[in-house]
Amino acid sequence: MLLRDNASLLAGSGDTEGVLHWFHKERKRRMRSAAGLLRKL
């Protein structure tokens, strides 16, 4: 889902490492958010 929603980041990007780093951080942020929501149930 992250890749599909942010395909524009990959198109013509010369900074592949930077984009991959951003994806990793965003994935971690979303996982923490989801875990927090599950704890509230």
Spell out the domain ranges in the chain: 15-41
pLDDT at 36: 97
Q: What's the pTM? A: 0.65
Q: What is the pLDDT of residue 38?
A: 97
For residue 34, give every residue at least 6 positions away whose Cβ sits within 8 Å of its Cβ, in sequence order, or none: none
Amino acid 18: pLDDT: 82
User: Which residues, given as ranges, of the chain have pLDDT below 70?
Assistant: 9-10, 12-13
CB 22 within 8 A of CB 35: no
35 neighbors 10 (Cβ within 8 angstroms):
no
